[in-house]
A and B are shown apart, each in its own frame.
Chain A
Amino acid sequence: MTKRRSTPIPESSASALGWMMNELGHGTDIVTRAFACGADGQPLVTIVYIEGLVDPMAVNGRIVDRILDAAHSLDAAALPQDRLRLLKEKVLAVGGIAEIRTGEEILNSLLEGSTVVLAEGSEIAVCANTAGGEHRSIEEPSSQTVIRGPKEGFTESIRTNVSLIRRKIKSPKLRIDHKSIGTVTQTQIAVVYLKDIANQKIVDEIHERLDGIDTDSILESGYIEEFIQDRTFTPFPTLQNLERPDAIVGGILEGQIAIIVDGTPFVLLAPVTFNRFFQSSEDYYQRFDIASFLRLIRFGSFLASMLLPSLYIAITTFHQEMIPTTLLVSLAAQREGTPFPAIVEAFIMEITFEVLREAGVRMPRAMGSAISIVGALVLGQAAVQAGLVSAAMVIVVSFTAIANFVIPSVNMATASRLIRFAMMILGGTFGLFGVMTGLMFLLIHMVSLRSFGIPFMLPLSPLSIPNLKDVFIRLPWWALSTRPRLIADPKANVRQGKNQKPEPPSSSSGERNDE
């Protein structure tokens, strides 16, 4: 990081203002207001703030109004130091007040939305925290929706986001470590965890990695993710991003650590294991049986989304013996007259689908329905009727696409999309041997992955039977008595009491109820 200059604040408010305006380039959104408190109309107190970054109600009601009311007492104070103390202690009706001594600090606090109060003749300025301004209000998350569960989502404001977490964890152990990263953007970052429940070693590791970042800007948590993940050359995400406060809080309570970045509703969660990407916070609100079933469906969908086209290619071009005869005959009949080999056909369809999908994301929302009509009619039906692709291939590709949407985590879904193409090449070249070889390669890769030192495939390999309670199936809440091993602090393993299985009241009390 570049070394901080340190400019003293000029005693004269006018020259201080002049310096400030110079540094900030005379922006039209910089508002200065001088208060002629003295008898001679001399401005003794000046406030500066940037419009749009501050809460106008706070500035007008708690600073401007108060200063005007206290004009006489300010005038009475002889020395600039006294005036400053008076301002700080009696006049400014704002919670966060700080003294600042350098010009750079003034600039920073202005840019963070504070109001700077200058007293004529003082080398020290007061900054009052009036940060506010227009923000998106708390809305339902757009990307991670649930049917049952809280409907609130994170917003772009780090303050709101931190407060959302605070509101859910009313514990003094909740730690929120602030830092700002990015020499130009000075983006606020908050590391949130529960002391004594999160593993302190991992917390230190995260701090160390965050402090190591030397960049000019952080605009989204994706920047942070790429700087601090354990390995870059992998299709798999090793940090989770979530838009839902309840999911983040759930992770924090299991000993994970959240990284909130100002300016984005996507909060990072680390360390994370493979199975976490297949959990939705709704799993814990629904009945455990349906939640377990849905999880199995999600894992199955992940496999399907990754392997289905390659298996289809491998089986229909290499291992036709596996297909029941009747099906084989109807597949063969469909392929009569299609011009391309199965693998080319699959590639055409897959790439077409990816184009459609990207178009769907980029297009203005109003045209969304047009895309689906074009996609479904032109590409689906017409391509089959024209004999370009076989109907079975359209079914395979569509199912693959739908299976991909089942995965709750978008970045894990993306991983399977990329792997799918490599698998298709392998399957089309070496049949199932190729697919298995690809899987082996993938398995070796995934097993060697780590997320902040935690093995990525944790409950499976290394096998951890107690952790399996919440992986493929979710046991009822009363059975989840421990936190996942290795992630949380080993001393904070126990989460809730044992023997909480609910039972109907004993027979005697039941009879009493009947009476």
Chain B
Amino acid sequence: MKEKITSFQVSALIMFTIAPTGILLLPGAITSFAKQNAWQSAALGTVFGIGIAVLIGYICNQNPGMPLMNWLEKRLGRWVCVLVGLFLARYYITIAVITLSEFSFFISDEVLHRTPPWLTMTIIMLVVLYAVGQGIETIVRVNMITFLVSVLLIAAGSLLIMKNMHAKPLLPLWEGSFTPVLKGSLLPASWLSEVAVLLLLAPYIRQKKSAIRTGIAGVALAGAAITVTVAVSIATFGPRLVPLITYPSFLIVSVIEIGSLLERLEIVFISIWLLTMYLKLSVLMFGASQCLVQSFHIRSERPFLFALGLFVLLNALYAWGNAADFYAYTVKTGFLDLLFSNALVPAIIALGLWVTTKGMRRRRSYDPNDS
């Protein structure tokens, strides 16, 4: 526990845990529900996400600074700890597998069409394992540099895409019922619920009791990124074309044409996006390994990490059939898993904590010095 990170670093990390896949897949998915009002869905989803962040932050603030699982073990007992640890590990592994496949699909769709996926996946996994092996401090610091670079790039990019954007496709603001907007908001909300990784990160934060603020800032950043991407996609392509395009966020950039010099810029954006994707995967792998290492008190972390990486890699290679299966999972059932693991499970933990705190307080009421 000697590694220490700051609250701002964690917020930025949470943003890059959520945003990379969010800006890639969400514009199309949300727009197919809510049409031109999709950005409202994203904004609404952000509000839900902030709610989840508050819940997670509340749990984190109870933690006196121990690793999550050890703390749960102390508070709720060994079996609860193992159960929660296993469940969360399953969740992180699943998401890591999905993210890895998404990453590799994307690369074969957009960058390297004929390179076999096993090779790209292996390379990605090697880099990710190297990052996770260096510890969370390294991950957040890499994240910080990526954050600075991408802020600069996004600032430059938004100037360039201005010309292609029109306000008309975003209108009318309110059309028909609110239901599609609400339906559309579930997806971003589930994505933003990944803020639950804060549970694992909070013990490392230098500023005590800042978890709620950190979580909200992270979710707000990621939510803003998603909302803006959705809005810009619709403003550029209109609500009907966006769902047809696989990766609208990069097509926005690829239609930039300023003179004959600045065109086909998407590869630059994709390059930076690749870095953020590495970070997301690192965080997920970190989550999976920490859950297992802490709940089972594994000592030799490195070999274990390697085995875990291999497991995720093989899963990503063989567990997914084709693009349609994949899409069906991520958009239809995946978000339920996300919401369940990231909102419901923490809620249960919070309930358990609340009950035990009451119990402890009652038992210790005669000994006020102890607390």
Direct interface between A and B, CB < 8 A? yes
Is B267 in contact with A444, judged by CB distance below 8 angstroms?
no
Contact across chains for B127 and A441 when beta carbons are under 8 A apart: yes
A410-441 contact mask (Cβ, 8 Å, vs B): 1 or 0? 00000000000000000000111101110111
* Residues in chain B near residue A439, CB distance under 8 A: 275
Q: How far is the CB of A361 from chain B (nearest CB, A)?
A: 34
- A367 an interface residue at 8 Å Cβ cutoff? no
Residues of chain A from 474 to 502 with CB closer than 8 A to chain B in the complex: none
Contacts of B134 in A (CB 8 A): 444, 447-448
* Docked CA distance A504–B8 (Å): 42
Check if B167 is an interface residue, CB within 8 A of chain A.
Answer: no
Q: Which residues of A contact B111 (CB under 8 A)?
A: 318-319, 431-433
In the complex, A463 has a CB within 8 A of chain B: yes
B residues near A457, Cβ cutoff 8 Å: 141, 145
Contact (Cβ within 8 A) B267 A432:
yes
- Contact between chains at A462 and B274 (CB < 8 Å): no
Collect the chain A residues with CB atoms within 8 Å of residue B112's CB.
318, 430-431, 433
Once A444-B138, A455-B141 are accepted as A-B contacts, the answer to whether A462 and B6 lie under 8 Å apart by CB is yes
* B247–chain A nearest beta-carbon distance, Å: 15
Q: How far is the CA of A192 from the CA of B81 in the complex (A)?
A: 53
Q: Counting CB contacts under 8 A, is A508 at the interface?
A: no
| Residue B179 at the chain A interface, CB threshold 8 Å | no
Q: Collect the chain B residues with CB atoms within 8 Å of residue A436's CB.
A: 271, 274-275
What CA separation (Å) do A443 and B139 show in the bound complex?
10
Q: Which residues of A contact B275 (CB under 8 A)?
A: 436, 439-440, 443
**Which of A100-108, A109-117, A290-298, A322-330 is the contact stretch?**
A322-330
Known: A462-B6, A463-B144. A447 touches B138 (CB 8 A): yes
- Chain B residues contacting A463 (CB-CB under 8 Å) are 8-9, 144, 148
B131 touches A444 (CB 8 A): yes
B130:A444 contact, CB within 8 angstroms: yes
A319–B254 Cα distance when bound, in Å, is 13
Q: How far is the CA of A289 from the CA of B123 in the complex (A)?
A: 43
Residue tally, chain B, CB below 8 Å to A: 33
Closest to B12 in A: A463
Chain A contact-residue range equals: 20 to 34
Contact present for B144 and A461 (CB under 8 Å): yes
Residues of B with C-beta under 8 A to A321: 264, 267
Residues of B within 8 A of A383 (CB): none
Q: Which of B107, B148, B267 counts the most chain A CB atoms within 10 A?
A: B267
User: Judging by beta carbons under 8 Å apart, are A461 and B107 in contact?
Assistant: no
Asked if residues A326 and B144 are in contact (CB atoms below 8 Å), the reply is no
Flag if A460 contacts B271 (CB, 8 Å): no
Q: Which of A441-479 contact B (CB under 8 A)?
A: 441, 443-445, 447-448, 455, 457, 460-463
Contact A460 B145 (CB under 8 A): yes
Do B274 and A433 touch across chains, with their CB atoms under 8 A apart?
yes
Given A321-B264, A324-B261, A433-B112, do A461 and B271 touch, yes or no (CB 8 Å)? no
For residue B115, which residues in chain A have a CB less than 8 angstroms away from its CB? 430
User: Which residues of chain A are near B131, meaning CB under 8 Å?
Assistant: 440, 444
Contacts of B145 in A (CB 8 A): 443, 447, 457, 460-461
Q: Are A441 and B130 in contact (CB under 8 A)?
A: yes
Q: Closest CB of chain B to A162's CB: distance in Å?
A: 37
Chain B hits for A461, CB < 8 A: 141-142, 144-145
Which residues of chain B are within 8 angstroms of A324 by Cβ–Cβ distance? 260-261, 263
B232 at interface, CB cutoff 8 A? no
CB distance from B343 to the nearest CB of A (A): 31
Q: Does B267 lie within 8 Å of A462, measured CB to CB?
A: no
Interface digits, B261-283 against A, CB 8 Å rule (1 contact, 0 not)? 10110010011001100100000
CB contacts between A and B, total, < 8 Å: 84
Given contacts A430-B112, A441-B130, A443-B142, contact A322 B9 (CB under 8 A): no
Residue in A326, A435, A444 whose Cβ sees the most chain B Cβ within 10 Å:
A444
Inter-chain CA distance A430–B127, complex, in Å, is 15
Cα-based distance from A278 to B267 in the complex (angstroms) = 29
On whether the beta carbons of A440 and B271 are closer than 8 Å, the reply is no
Q: Which residues of A contact B70 (CB under 8 A)?
A: none
A447 contacts B123, C-beta separation under 8 Å: no
Main secondary structure of the interface of A (DSSP, over half): helix
How far, in angstroms, from A22 to B134 measured CA to CA in the complex?
57
- B120 contacts chain A at the CB level, 8 A cutoff: yes
B193 → chain A, closest Cβ, in Å?
Answer: 27
For A431, what are the chain B residues with a Cβ–Cβ distance below 8 Å?
111-112
Q: Select from chain A the residue with minimum beta-carbon distance to B259.
A: A324
Contacts of B198 in A (CB 8 A): none
Q: Is B89 at the interface (CB under 8 A from chain A)? A: no
Which residues of A sit under 8 angstroms from B274, Cβ to Cβ? Answer: 433, 436-437, 440
By a CB distance below 8 angstroms, the chain A residues around B142 are: 440, 443-444, 447, 461
Inter-chain CA distance A444–B135, complex, in Å, is: 10
B124 at the A/B interface (Cβ < 8 Å)? yes
Contact with A along B237-256 (1 / 0, CB 8 A): 00000000000000000000
Q: Mark B170-202, 1 if CB is under 8 A from A, else 0.
A: 000000000000000000000000000000000
Contact with B along A4-25 (1 / 0, CB 8 A): 0000000000000000000000
Of A433, A440, A445, the residue contacting B107 (CB under 8 A) is A433
Q: Residue of B at shortest CB range from A462? A: B141
Chain B residues within 8 Å of A326, by CB: 260
Residues in A with CB closer than 8 Å to B107 are 433
Contacts of B270 in A (CB 8 A): 432
B13: min CB distance to chain A, Å: 12
Interface residues of B in 320-366 (CB under 8 A from A): none
Contact with A along B118-132 (1 / 0, CB 8 A): 001001100100110
Q: Are A322 and B267 in contact (CB under 8 A)?
A: yes
- In the complex, A333→B145 CA distance in Å? 39
Q: Tell me if A447 and B264 are in contact (CB < 8 A).
A: no
Interface set of A (CB-CB < 8 Å, partner B): 318-319, 321-322, 324-326, 430-433, 435-437, 439-441, 443-445, 447-448, 455, 457, 460-463
* 30 cross-chain CB contacts under 8 A: A319-B267, A322-B264, A324-B263, A325-B260, A430-B112, A430-B115, A431-B112, A432-B111, A432-B270, A433-B111, A433-B120, A437-B278, A440-B131, A440-B274, A440-B275, A443-B142, A443-B146, A444-B127, A444-B130, A444-B131, A444-B138, A447-B134, A447-B138, A447-B145, A448-B134, A448-B135, A448-B138, A457-B141, A460-B145, A463-B9
Interface residues of B (CB under 8 A from A): 6, 8-9, 107, 111-112, 115, 120, 123-124, 127, 130-131, 134-135, 137-138, 141-142, 144-146, 148, 260-261, 263-264, 267, 270-271, 274-275, 278
Closest 5 interchain pairs by CB? A461-B141, A461-B144, A447-B141, A448-B134, A448-B138
